[in-house]
Structure 1
Amino acid sequence: MTARVARVMIDSPVPALDHPFDYAIPDHLVDDIVVGARVRVPLRSGGRRADAYVIELAEQSDFDGQLSAIDELVSPIPVLTPEVWRLARRAADRAAGTASDIVRLAVPKRHVRVEKAWLAAEEPKPLSIEPPAVEGYADPDRLTAPGTRSALSAIPTLAETDAGVTVGRWAATVAQLAARVLATGRSTIVCVPDYRDQDQLQSALADCVPAHAVSRLDARQSAAERYRAFLECLRPGPRVIIGNRSTIYAPAAELGLILVWDDADDLHAEPLAPYVHTRDAALIRQEDSGCALILAGHTRSVEAQRLVELGWLTAVEPARTTSPRVILSDPAQTGETARIPSAAWRAAREALAHGPVLVQVSRPGYAPVVACQRCHTAARCRTCHGPLGIRSAGAAPSCALCGAIQAGWACDECGATQLRLVTRGTGRTTEELGRAFPGTMVVTSDGEHRVERVPARPALVVATRGAEPVADGGYHAILLLDGERMLAREALSIAMDCLRWWANAAALSAPRAPVVLVGVGGRLGQALATWTPESFAAAELADRRELAFPPAVRTASVSGDLSAVERAIDGVDPALYRDVLGPTELPDGGVRSVVRFDYAKGAALAAAMRAAIIANTTTRRRTPAAKGGYRPPPSLRIRFDETEILQ
């Protein structure tokens, strides 16, 4: 029978519209409408039209009245595949969000010129490659077998591609696993935190996967380039799809493997509603598709450790133990209080005779935080009371929030006018090292100075965490500074974050090169020195279980107007949650409460929270739009599993 009804998803963030709508298919579109196509449909209110996606075709509708007809077929290409739609629906339901918000991440904006070129292009030739060996792991076939789920500990060394490019050993391992899956006629999705990781992975893939079988979905791409890469993923046949967090929603023919690299990285946390983490979306998609799943990293996240202890993930270690040579320089043991102790100076001087040296610091800029020289009170802006910092040598202090220059600053507590540097960023560290090592090139790599690679010649590379360039052949020494200051940040995950930052930097060292960790000892320092991050993750998880902190329990952060927050929580059955923390005041004038609940109650509690969102949007008093069409933000926001609610 010919389908006469199209069930569509309206592309709208309005929660009340987050359900399928039935529309009649006009006679002239019966042969062209397919599942996943973009269409334009009428809305009964105000004679408006809305963009939509066809999610299902049927012979008839359950609606007794007369159906409105689809106005227009925007594109015949099925850009929203059934698998991606199921993922979007399940992920949105788990996070009490709308599926259209996730589809907006999954499907790029349409470009007609790119679409026409793609339709006119020839189909790619069938692939035929030999599966490469996976160096360092005993049973790679078990890792990629359908239905398996693994927590993979990466080998913390470097590798060299056939083209002579130095990459992390992890990138070579991921490329080899993806090539083995590709050889079986299945696709692989690899999600990495940022463009640096994507570049390393693409270089490693060039050794074992044909270039036309690799699609890269990059946030730095132009809209047209991203749409072209997305359309290539729609073609039949296996592919390797790499990119950042939204790549988890990419269409893939015969999906065989999902691999998430460094899932604890903050860049995997989606900042847009409904705030679904890459790891959570990967777990949902693996369960739906039956493919293999690998969470890989130099360290193991606490969330992955919980899944390992539950038996949901299988821990996989390298067949041979290889770890960097970490040296601890703890003031409690050495008695030295200098920012760069003598052991670190010696290691840097000796290493500079052979090649580059990496110096990791906590903050970018020159002196991000300053204080009164006399009473040590933090220096504050006279305009907005924000923290003051110094952007360059000799510059007057300025506010980090409003940017106001604070010439003639005086301390509010004691009246002194002299400042002391509380933190030294990349700029100040570069200046100090330049004076200490005259004639040596000093390279800065941070958010403002992006350096991806340095040659194998003597140089000092000063980098913030996560911005460390890859050195050809590896660094001959690595100094990890400001460890004590990194740990001073008030965040639940700070210990695990620091361990991950240091481990990722240590993995860039040349064989047997010294890695000096300054200012940190104890259990955390020993975990890095003995390279036992899994044991540290297990201990951290045990502590969080005792305190009922995530991921031992799930959380829902409910923020907004006090009345809206109270109504939302009052509408939830108390049997669904453990307790409610708050409300506490927020800087923007609203309040926030945190609901803690068990995983088994997640679906029911998310449904109740979603009902609260719909009720809030439909019952709150409407305010007229201000000049320019501005409307105030919603008075209620709900975010599940927020990573830093205890910050």
Structure 2
Amino acid sequence: MPAASIARVLVDSPLPQLDRLFDYQVPAELQSAAAPGCRVRVPLRSAGRIADGFIVELVDTIEYSGALSEIDAVVSPVPVLTDEVYQLARRVADRAAGGASDVLRIAVPKRQVRVEKAWAASEPTVGSPFEPVDIPEYDAAILDGIIVQAGRAVMEAIPRTVEVGGQWLGHWALTMARVAARALAAGPVILVVPDYRDQEQLENALRTILPPDRILRLDARQSSADRYRAHLLCLDGVARVIVGNRSAVYAPAKDPSLIMVWDDGDPLLAEPLAPYVHSRDAALVRQEQQGCALIFLGHARTTEVERLVQLGWCSPLSPTTRYLPRVIPTAQQVADDPLAARARIPSNAWREAKAALEHGPVLFQVARPGYAPRLVCESCGQVARCQRCNGPLGLKRARSSPSCSWCGAIAAQWRCAHCSANRYRLQGQGATRTAEDLGRAFPGVPVIVSDGERPIVTVPDRPALVIATRGAEPVAAGGYRVVVLLDGERMLARESLRVGEDCLRWWSNAISLAAAGAPTVLVGVGGSLAGALATWQLADYSRDELADRRRLRFPPAVRVASVTGDPESLTRAIRSVEGLDGVDVLGPVDTAAGTLRAIVRFDFARGSEVAGTLRSELIRNASSRRKRVPSTGAPARLPTLRVRFDDLEPFEQLEGTL
């Protein structure tokens, strides 16, 4: 048998029983094209069909002595799947009891033939020279040590804006760009940000430091051709700064020197598809596998990152000079003044905003978009509900028909399910209604609304009222002259395990957009959150929050997995892990879909064992035969067992129910 004539192939299939390497004979006519990492098509004997896959490795011999099926075709000789990315996909999939092919669908874009041919015909590229940059706000020697020694750090961002190349950006973007440029001399750099707003700021900062050919964008918003072109450019060995959203952590960069993640608490960094791997976890695994540096950058720490700091796994890194924003809590004023308690915007916020509008823009952060987030029955006061899905009704615009916040259905002829009345009243104020009220209060001042439907990235340095939902705040040239954080009590009323740290992140990110010395008014919020913001000791709140989670045995003090299925399969899965040390089970309880769900809690040291055991149950459930019901001829019942690791949904209350 010729050398390296056997290919070990990972089949692209969501079936858990196919999540392993299959051996195929490489025909003589395909041996010149077959290489590790290339796309192939292979037969599946049991299914009687042809499937796509990747060659993971070529071997000389195997233990199996029977005849092997042959590879049907080599789709492309380009090795688009590097061994580093495959090992990463395999590791994070095993950690989450998922399939490696599910991860690779995110990591490797679909093939674009024209792009691939143009890339293959192009001349090898050599990156333009660049000069390392200084990072005056941080200790450069410590940063260089982290990069050279492949260390892990949690970096505190500076809460202010800065002008770079004629554009105003969050200082975090400039910091990230400078650190990336400093690390680029040692190899490729991967920068991961939550969304396009952050990405645009970061790219603008990078362009002022590095040549254009050293910056590579790789994200899901690109066209299929552009994303595949960027993926191929990662393979040419040129040290580049790769910028993108959550999928960029899987970029096929050869021997990266640094992975850097901005604002890891943003839910956009959590993959919504199975196996639901968070970019933070993928970055931690890749750093350990490839021996590169890893830095988490943010204004506020998540409890997950705080846990890593307390374990000594990550080192805290703060600016050499402390930057203390001016935050004014109003909780005491509201408590002392009955009239202030009924007002949405207290008097001192009005005064600060009125004075600041003579000089520049003022930001009002609100909790919800639309006109009125909630409607209630005028007769009985019950929340108005959708007749289709029972979701809460709201108004997106003034004088519009109410619509469901969950399914979007229009409720033109709504009647209360409790008293049959057909009149409702508004409850709460969304961004549009707030803009309408503020426009009347400040006549002649331009009003700008920024939310999910009307995204605005920047605003000029002119007097204006900017009303933005959390996370949609534009960057103001010169910074906002005043920032007013409204609806704090409403945000904190959301039943969620992460509500405190989420609010801390939303508010600290908004505070960082204020001009130097400009005040931020925090309306109606007191206690530890207000104290952390007023003193800018945000890490103290994360430390106390993690201590509470440890006492309650809640994540991230422990890991969790939600297991959902029919009674028989769920019982079998739960029994398989109940005997393991450090494992306890909550439930099962009924779900809205008519199945049962249980929560498995376990120590981090037991993660591999629990994941492997539950993965075995998934395979058993998916591969067991299900016969048709003879009397009805109904089709075989599909597998129902589902497992999701690090799932916080059971600890959350849907925001739409508030």
Equivalent in 586, 591, 594 of residue 596 of structure 2: 591
Q: Is 1:473 aligned to 2:478, yes or no? A: yes
Q: For residue 395 of structure 2, what is the amino acid of its counterpart?
A: I
CA RMSD of aligned residues (A): 1.8
Q: Is 1:155 aligned to 2:158, yes or no? A: yes
Aligned-residue offset at 1:411: 4.2
CA distance in 2, matches of 1:148, 1:202: 25
Q: Is 1:167 aligned to 2:169, yes or no? A: yes
Q: For residue 15 of structure 1, what is the amino acid of its counterpart?
A: P
8 Å Cα contact 2:115-2:225 kept in structure 1:
yes
Q: Is 1:72 aligned to 2:77, yes or no? A: no
- Segment of structure 1 superposing worse, 319-328 or 584-593: 584-593
> Which residue of structure 2 aligns with residue 42 of structure 1?
43
Alignment of 1:423-442 (within 5 A): 423-442=428-447
TM-score (norm 1): 0.96
Aligned-residue offset at 1:130: 1.3
8 Å Cα contact 1:233-1:250 kept in structure 2:
yes
Q: For residue 490 of structure 1, what is the amino acid of its counterpart?
A: E
> Which residue of structure 2 aligns with residue 627 of structure 1?
none
Aligned-residue offset at 1:401: 3.7
Aligned-residue offset at 1:278: 0.6
8 Å Cα contact 1:195-1:218 kept in structure 2:
no
> Which residue of structure 2 aligns with residue 25 of structure 1?
26
8 Å Cα contact 1:446-1:467 kept in structure 2:
yes
> Which residue of structure 2 aligns with residue 266 of structure 1?
267
Aligned-residue offset at 1:620: 5.4
CA distance in 2, matches of 1:426, 1:622: 55
> Which residue of structure 1 aligns with residue 575 of structure 2?
570
SS in 2 for 1:142: helix
> Which residue of structure 2 aligns with residue 246 of structure 1?
247
> Which residue of structure 2 aligns with residue 363 of structure 1?
368
Q: For residue 131 of structure 2, what is the amino acid of its counterpart?
A: E
> Which residue of structure 1 aligns with residue 632 of structure 2?
none
CA distance in 1, matches of 2:413, 2:41: 61
8 Å Cα contact 1:238-1:254 kept in structure 2:
no
SS in 2 for 1:77: coil
Q: Is 1:506 aligned to 2:511, yes or no? A: yes
Aligned-residue offset at 1:404: 4.5
Q: For residue 158 of structure 2, what is the amino acid of its counterpart?
A: I
8 Å Cα contact 2:38-2:77 kept in structure 1:
yes
CA distance in 1, matches of 2:293, 2:413: 62
Equivalent in 488, 495, 501 of residue 483 of structure 1: 488
CA distance in 2, matches of 1:457, 1:244: 32
SS in 2 for 1:516: strand
Aligned-residue offset at 1:421: 2.6
CA distance in 1, matches of 2:51, 2:336: 67
Q: Is 1:610 aligned to 2:615, yes or no? A: yes
> Which residue of structure 2 aligns with residue 54 of structure 1?
55
Aligned-residue offset at 1:517: 0.7
Q: Residue by residue, what CA displacement relative to the aligned partner does 1:441-482 show, whole Å, maximum 9, x if unpaired? A: 111111110111111111111111111111111111111100
SS in 2 for 1:160: strand
SS in 1 for 2:220: coil
CA distance in 1, matches of 2:65, 2:415: 75
Q: Is 1:377 aligned to 2:382, yes or no? A: yes
8 Å Cα contact 1:152-1:294 kept in structure 2:
yes
- Sort the Cα spacing of 1:257 and 1:403 in 2 relative to 1 into closer, same or farther, 3 A: closer
> Which residue of structure 1 aligns with residue 230 of structure 2?
229
SS in 2 for 1:575: coil
SS in 2 for 1:13: coil
SS in 2 for 1:357: strand
- Sort the Cα spacing of 1:403 and 1:179 in 2 relative to 1 into closer, same or farther, 3 A: closer
> Which residue of structure 2 aligns with residue 179 of structure 1?
181
> Which residue of structure 2 aligns with residue 6 of structure 1?
7
Aligned-residue offset at 1:386: 2.4
8 Å Cα contact 1:576-1:605 kept in structure 2:
no
Aligned-residue offset at 1:417: 5.1
Q: Residue by residue, what CA displacement relative to the aligned partner does 1:64-123 show, whole Å, maximum 9, x if unpaired? A: 111111111111111110110110011011100010000111000000011011111222
Alignment of 1:285-324 (within 5 A): 285-324=286-325
- Segment of structure 1 superposing worse, 584-593 or 268-277: 584-593
Q: For residue 154 of structure 1, what is the amino acid of its counterpart?
A: A
CA distance in 1, matches of 2:638, 2:200: 38
Aligned-residue offset at 1:399: 2.8
> Which residue of structure 1 aligns with residue 395 of structure 2?
390
Q: For residue 42 of structure 1, what is the amino acid of its counterpart?
A: P
Structure 1: 5+ residue runs without aligned partners? 625-629
Aligned-residue offset at 1:535: 0.5
Q: For residue 48 of structure 1, what is the amino acid of its counterpart?
A: R
CA distance in 2, matches of 1:382, 1:22: 54
Aligned-residue offset at 1:623: 6.8
- Sort the Cα spacing of 1:620 and 1:444 in 2 relative to 1 into closer, same or farther, 3 A: farther
> Which residue of structure 2 aligns with residue 145 of structure 1?
148
SS in 2 for 1:572: helix
SS in 2 for 1:602: helix
SS in 1 for 2:58: strand
Q: For residue 442 of structure 1, what is the amino acid of its counterpart?
A: V
Q: Is 1:543 aligned to 2:542, yes or no? A: no
CA distance in 2, matches of 1:17, 1:409: 50
Aligned-residue offset at 1:363: 0.6
CA distance in 1, matches of 2:5, 2:388: 64
- Sort the Cα spacing of 1:623 and 1:636 in 2 relative to 1 into closer, same or farther, 3 A: farther
- Sort the Cα spacing of 1:229 and 1:413 in 2 relative to 1 into closer, same or farther, 3 A: same
> Which residue of structure 2 aligns with residue 193 of structure 1?
194
Q: For residue 313 of structure 1, what is the amino acid of its counterpart?
A: C
SS in 1 for 2:580: helix
- Sort the Cα spacing of 1:602 and 1:333 in 2 relative to 1 into closer, same or farther, 3 A: farther
Q: For residue 152 of structure 2, what is the amino acid of its counterpart?
A: R
Aligned-residue offset at 1:400: 2.8
8 Å Cα contact 2:626-2:637 kept in structure 1:
no
Q: Residue by residue, what CA displacement relative to the aligned partner does 1:213-268 show, whole Å, maximum 9, x if unpaired? A: 11111221111111111111111121111111111111102210011111111111
8 Å Cα contact 1:492-1:644 kept in structure 2:
no
CA distance in 1, matches of 2:470, 2:315: 29
- Segment of structure 1 superposing worse, 603-612 or 231-240: 231-240
Aligned-residue offset at 1:621: 2.1
8 Å Cα contact 2:626-2:636 kept in structure 1:
no
CA distance in 1, matches of 2:517, 2:627: 66
Q: Residue by residue, what CA displacement relative to the aligned partner does 1:196-221 show, whole Å, maximum 9, x if unpaired? A: 00000000001111111111112211
Aligned-residue offset at 1:33: 1.6
Aligned-residue offset at 1:375: 4.3
CA distance in 1, matches of 2:158, 2:389: 48
- Segment of structure 1 superposing worse, 416-425 or 121-130: 416-425
Identity %: 54
- Segment of structure 1 superposing worse, 32-41 or 325-334: 325-334
8 Å Cα contact 1:131-1:179 kept in structure 2:
yes
Q: For residue 180 of structure 1, what is the amino acid of its counterpart?
A: R
CA distance in 1, matches of 2:519, 2:403: 38
